[in-house]
């Protein structure tokens, strides 16, 4: 008899599980995927670039269409929301979002891939028009349309995380006067404060006054009739605006999981073991709705990322199919950019490493990313963080107009392999003048931190 | 009493040793560096880009000037060639290249950093004018001047290694009709044959008929009176040309080392241990004149590279100063490009891995280097090589118009840390649409090879 696999959620991890199961020929299963949305398998990460105008059609963000799965024998159910999981009965309740009709669906194996949603901060009049969040393709279409209206001159972004910065780039490059407001002392507060400050300064420098950034202040109310016209901050600033993006963080969609007795962890994300199994038999979870194991801190963390969702989806599928796979965990490697200025990190920052009790030592180095005499050479700044006792590399942050991301991935690979600074500084990196310096900036940073460890 | 350190050779490793010793305050030494050239510390790797015209002045290739060292108390002697090492007497004989006067110089510690020189193949009339090799700054100036003469329309490059390809780029981008002739079956024969073929095809495609590549043929004679006019190949081809570049490989400058009883290894490069010590007490060697230990094959190899020269110079200096440092070895990571097309590798190719007795398995994958919907997305091709028994990654080759070099450094880091394919495919690489795909091409290649290992 076919194993009945039910997947709830259809953006990244869900379709990945489905695709992987369909390739697992030795596993005889019937797959049903339910999503409350009207499409599946799209690149939410691509939305800022669609809004910016780099991508002409939203269709391009779609990775796979329902028909592609249907052709292979899986079933995709759009506009169908899972409202309840009944673990003892191995059933889920699915409600049609248009007719409200509820059906019972039996499963042998259930995968929860419900993702995350934007947090809506407690701001008055959030219901006003032209206030947006960035999650679904339709959000992208609506934001782009509004931004391109002739009367749209000004925008406010609430929250300076990755999405906030990406939206800032999109608006700036479209000639919109944009004001970003961040509650924290720093934008991109997952970086160390002095690195965040460098990023902020660079964004402001590059934007020639077309962009404003306010930190340590919060929006408390929107004003306008029907449409948002202005907003008021806690410090009493009044800012006129034609549109608003709320990018104040995300929260996992785990209410139905919790209600079913599934254990949650950090930030209410679903706790899974390294086989993507929840605490309840036959129920798996993957993607943005799940907690992660951090390979450096050896603690749980919630770091929802598309790259991780894909890895977890693969792992879940293999285990659902009765085979064995273990996903070791994450470093939280991430990257974004602001108009050619790359912002990337992996592992722990100095701030985080101290929290976890490491004997932290760090080095920061600014250097050209390729031979200084090459016209394409640009600065990058690398901050390495290590543990003085074990000499292990704990993390790295790299920013700059040059090739920063390449260095982050190189050091991520070393951190994942548990390398010490002594081992890492001998790394045989490629060298040619158009690509790097004879002593790569990353190795210079490693030499610097090594000197500090031994001094 | 000060330790008398004598360094012979001044391009990369020699100045590195000098610089590092000068920073080692606790080591009281007198440093004398002798070079037969009229400058030190220049980027030979930058010469093709000076010739191409990306760099306006040859001065820019100079990393450090003799005066900078003199100011710090070291002594740099230009136009002074070492003609003999007398290990028993702890002396070297130095000959002035202008006056031929020979002097004796005593040392307590000697560092041989004599580098390598171009191989001159047995071709008739090699003495004709407008036949060049690419090693010294003056070579670069001469080649650039000749290339820019109005009557220069055609060039021939003898040898299709890295320098040959870099010179091909320089000539092609300067509108010179260029013919590259390679004796081997393939250009860039340090790559696997099918990858070499892809590189060749891509170079020819990009160059729209302005570039010719002949393999499996050798130049046997040049013709012309005074100046080279044409050449004849072993297969009887006659090719008219206005200038010729000989880039048929390099050989280490180790004749005086050999004469002094210093042990040589692969390709007559100086054998050193991991502290850069030769078999003779108090004599060290570093840079292109030394043999390397290959971290994957666990065999000696001769892979002269500027990045390695710097690492070895640092290691030699630390040990000369009486402290301890060990240089573990190399992967042979290297990169070059042809007009935006990146060519890079690390570790062993499939061909090499087979020679060393590994149970070789490989996967080759062509994929966009960033989200397919981003206008900046370009193809890269990655070939991964692994050992089926141990599952260790042995090497990688990455080429393409996209960001190939980033992936090579990432996998180099994993190879250096002795990672298996299973471990590597979980690597937390950064992801954002302008930088990569949700499943990075490198991880796709790792997944593919993993499937092969377990199938």
**Which residue of B62, B324, B409 to mutate against A (max A Cβ within 10 Å)?**
B409
A46, A427, A431: residue with CB nearest B305: A431
Q: How far is CA A34 from the centre of its chain?
A: 23
The pLDDT score that the predictor gives to residue B454 is 85
Tell me the average pLDDT across A357-374.
97
pLDDT(A90) > 90: yes
B55, B311, B429: residue with CB nearest A307: B429
Report the run of H or E that residue B379 belongs to, with start and end: strand B379-387
pLDDT in tens, A236-281: 999 999 999 999 999 999 999 999 999 999 999 999 999 999 999 9
B12, B328, B332: residue with CB nearest A426: B328
3-state secondary structure chain A: CCEEEEEECCCCHHHHHHHHHHHCCCCCEEEEEECCCCCCCECHHHHHHHHHCCCCCHHHHECCCHHHHHHCCCEEECCEEEEEEECCCCEEEEEECCCCCEEEEECCEEEECCCEEECCCCCECCCCECEEECCCHHHHHHHHHHHHCCCCCEEEEECCCHHHHHHHHHHHHCCCEEEEECCCCCCCCCCCHHHHHHHHHHHHHHHCCCEEEECCCCEEEEECCCECCEEEECCCCEEECCEEEECCCEEECCHHHHHCCCCECHHHCECCCCCCECCCCCEEECHHHECEEECCCCCEECCCCHHHHHHHHHHHHHHHCCCCCCCCCECCCEEEEECCEEEEEEECCHHHHHHCCCCEEEEEEEEECCCCCCCCCCEEEEEEEEECCCCEEEEEEEEECCCHHHHHHHHHHHHHCCCEHHHHCCCCCCCCCCCCCCCCHHHHHHHHHHHHHHC
The pLDDT score that the predictor gives to residue A128 is 98
**Cβ burial, residue A303 (10 Å; 0-12/13-18/19+):** buried
- Provide, as residue numbers in chain A, all residues whose Cβ is less than 8 Å from the Cβ of B447: 314
Tell me the average pLDDT across B221-243.
97
Contact yes or no for B197/B182 (Cβ under 8 A): no
- Provide, as residue numbers in chain A, all residues whose Cβ is less than 8 Å from the Cβ of B414: 413, 416-417
Q: Which chain A residue lies closest to B325 (C-alpha atoms)?
A: A422
Percent share of chain B, pLDDT over 70: 100
Tell me the average pLDDT across B49-71.
95
- Whether residues A45 and B344 touch (CB distance < 8 A) is answered with no
Contact yes or no for A382/A407 (Cβ under 8 A): yes
The structural domains of chain A, with segments of one domain joined by +, span 3-117+251-320, 131-248, 341-454
CATH superfamily of the A341-454 domain: FAD/NAD-linked reductase, C-terminal dimerisation domain (3.30.390.30)
Sheet holding B393-400, edge to edge: B334-338, B341-347, B393-400, B379-387, B360-368
B345 vs B408: CA distance, rounded Å: 6
Q: Backbone phi, then psi, for B449, in 5-degree steps?
A: -70, -30
- Provide, as residue numbers in chain B, all residues whose Cβ is less than 8 Å from the Cβ of A314: 447
- Whether residues A417 and B414 touch (CB distance < 8 A) is answered with yes
For domain B344-454, give the CATH number.
Answer: 3.30.390.30
pLDDT mean across residues, chain B:
97
- Whether residues B431 and A45 touch (CB distance < 8 A) is answered with yes
**Which residue of A406, A428, A429 to mutate against B (max B Cβ within 10 Å)?**
A428
The pLDDT score that the predictor gives to residue A454 is 85
A12, A306, A416: residue with CB nearest B428: A416
- Whether residues A416 and B426 touch (CB distance < 8 A) is answered with yes
Closest-CA distance of chain A to residue B307, Å: 5
CATH topology of domain B131-248: FAD/NAD(P)-binding domain (3.50.50)
The pLDDT score that the predictor gives to residue A35 is 97
- Whether residues A431 and B307 touch (CB distance < 8 A) is answered with yes
Q: Which of the residues of B are catalytic?
A: 45
- Whether residues B49 and A434 touch (CB distance < 8 A) is answered with yes
pLDDT in tens, B316-374: 999 999 999 999 999 999 999 999 999 999 999 999 999 999 999 999 999 999 999 99
pLDDT(B395) > 80: yes
pLDDT(A455) > 80: no
Banded model confidence at residue B455, pLDDT cuts 50, 70, 90 = confident
pLDDT in tens, A197-248: 999 999 999 998 999 999 999 999 999 999 999 999 999 999 999 999 999 9
- Whether residues B435 and A335 touch (CB distance < 8 A) is answered with yes
- Whether residues A310 and B438 touch (CB distance < 8 A) is answered with yes
The pLDDT score that the predictor gives to residue B1 is 83
- Same CATH topology for A3-117+251-320 and A131-248? yes
Contact yes or no for B361/B388 (Cβ under 8 A): yes
B43, B55, B406: residue with CB nearest A405: B406
Q: Which of the residues of A are catalytic?
A: 45
CATH number assigned to the domain with residue range A3-117+251-320, chosen from the 4 options 3.90.1310.10, 3.50.50.60, 3.40.50.300, 3.30.1370.160: 3.50.50.60
- Provide, as residue numbers in chain A, all residues whose Cβ is less than 8 Å from the Cβ of B12: 438
B44 vs A438: CA distance, rounded Å: 11
- Please report how the helices A404-416 and B404-416 are oriented relative to each other, as an axis angle in degrees rounded to 10: 20
**Which residue of B382, B428, B431, B447 to mutate against A (max A Cβ within 10 Å)?**
B428
- Whether residues B430 and A334 touch (CB distance < 8 A) is answered with yes
A314 vs A130: CA distance, rounded Å: 38
- Whether residues B306 and A431 touch (CB distance < 8 A) is answered with yes
**Which residue of B413, B435, B451 to mutate against A (max A Cβ within 10 Å)?**
B413
Tell me the average pLDDT across A382-405.
97
- Whether residues A426 and B333 touch (CB distance < 8 A) is answered with no
pLDDT mean across residues, chain A:
97
The pLDDT score that the predictor gives to residue A341 is 98
pLDDT in tens, B158-177: 999 999 999 999 999 999 99
pLDDT(A1) > 90: no
Sheet holding A219-223, edge to edge: A219-223, A230-233, A238-240
- Provide, as residue numbers in chain A, all residues whose Cβ is less than 8 Å from the Cβ of B333: 428-431
Closest-CA distance of chain B to residue A361, Å: 21
The pLDDT score that the predictor gives to residue B167 is 98
- Provide, as residue numbers in chain B, all residues whose Cβ is less than 8 Å from the Cβ of A311: 426, 439
What interface predicted TM-score (ipTM) does this complex get?
0.96
Closest-CA distance of chain B to residue A346, Å: 8
pLDDT in tens, A125-142: 999 999 999 999 999 999
Tell me the average pLDDT across B77-98.
98
B328, B335, B418: residue with CB nearest A435: B335
The pLDDT score that the predictor gives to residue A283 is 98
pLDDT in tens, A8-56: 999 999 999 999 999 999 999 999 999 999 999 999 999 999 999 999 9
- Whether residues A310 and B335 touch (CB distance < 8 A) is answered with no
pLDDT in tens, B272-316: 999 999 999 999 999 999 999 999 999 999 999 999 999 999 999
Q: Which chain A residue lies closest to B274 (C-alpha atoms)?
A: A426
Q: Which residue has the higher pLDDT, B315 or A455?
A: B315
pLDDT(B33) > 80: yes
CATH number assigned to the domain with residue range B3-40+63-116+251-320, chosen from the 4 options 3.50.50.60, 3.90.198.10, 3.40.50.300, 3.30.70.2190: 3.50.50.60
pLDDT(B235) > 90: yes
Contacts of B118 (CB under 8 A, 6+ apart): B133, B134, B135, B246, B247, B248, B249, B250, B251
Tell me the average pLDDT across B146-168.
98
pTM here? 0.96
Contact yes or no for A48/A337 (Cβ under 8 A): no
Banded model confidence at residue A394, pLDDT cuts 50, 70, 90 = very high
**Which has the closest alpha carbon to B162: A409, A435, A427?**
A435
Contacts of B67 (CB under 8 A, 6+ apart): none
């Amino acid at each position: 008899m076919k194993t009945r696999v039910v997947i709830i959620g259809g953006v990244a991890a869900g379709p990945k599980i489905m695709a992987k199961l369909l390739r697992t020929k030795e596993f005889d299963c019937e797959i049903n995927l339910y999503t409350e949305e009207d499409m599946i398998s799209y690149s939410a990460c691509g939305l800022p670039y669609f809004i910016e105008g780099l991508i002409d059609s939203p269709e391009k963000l779609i990775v796979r269409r329902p028909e592609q799965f249907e052709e292979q024998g899986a079933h995709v159910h759009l506009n169908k929301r899972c409202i309840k999981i009944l673990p003892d009965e191995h059933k889920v309740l699915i409600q049609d979002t248009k007719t409200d009709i509820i059906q019972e669906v039996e499963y042998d194996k259930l995968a929860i891939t419900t993702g995350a949603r934007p947090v809506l901060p407690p701001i008055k009049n959030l219901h006003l028009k032209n206030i947006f969040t960035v999650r679904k393709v339709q959000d992208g279409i609506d934001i782009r349309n509004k931004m391109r209206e002739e009367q749209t001159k000004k925008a406010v972004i609430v929250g300076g995380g990755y999405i906030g910065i990406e939206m800032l780039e999109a608006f700036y490059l479209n000639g919109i006067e944009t004001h970003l407001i961040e509650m924290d002392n720093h934008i991109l507060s997952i970086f160390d404060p002095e690195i965040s400050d460098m990023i902020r300064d660079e964004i402001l420098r590059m934007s020639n006054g077309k962009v404003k950034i306010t930190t340590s202040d919060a929006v408390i109310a929107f004003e306008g009739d029907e449409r948002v016209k202005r907003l008021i901050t806690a410090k009493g600033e009044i800012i006129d605006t034609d549109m608003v993006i709320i990018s104040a963080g995300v929260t996992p969609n785990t209410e139905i999981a919790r209600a079913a007795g599934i254990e949650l962890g950090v930030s209410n994300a679903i706790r899974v073991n390294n086989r993507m199994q929840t605490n309840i038999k036959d129920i798996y979870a993957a993607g943005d709705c799940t907690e992660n194991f951090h390979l450096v801190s050896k603690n749980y963390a919630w770091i929802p990322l598309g790259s991780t969702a894909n890895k977890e989806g693969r792992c879940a599928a293999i285990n659902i199919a009765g085979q064995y796979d273990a996903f070791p965990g994450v470093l939280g490697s991430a990257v974004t950019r602001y108009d050619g200025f790359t912002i990337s990190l992996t592992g722990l920052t100095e701030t985080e490493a101290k929290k976890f009790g490491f004997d932290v030592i760090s080095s920061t180095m600014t250097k050209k990313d390729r031979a200084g005499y090459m016209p394409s050479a640009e600065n990058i700044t690398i901050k390495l963080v290590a543990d003085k006792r074990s000499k292990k590399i704990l993390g790295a942050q790299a920013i700059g107009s040059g090739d920063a991301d390449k260095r982050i991935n190189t050091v991520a690979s070393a951190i994942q392999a548990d390398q010490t600074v002594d081992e890492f500084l001998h790394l045989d990196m490629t060298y040619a003048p158009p690509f790097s310096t004879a002593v790569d900036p990353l190795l210079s940073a490693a030499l610097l931190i090594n000197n500090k460890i031994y001094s």
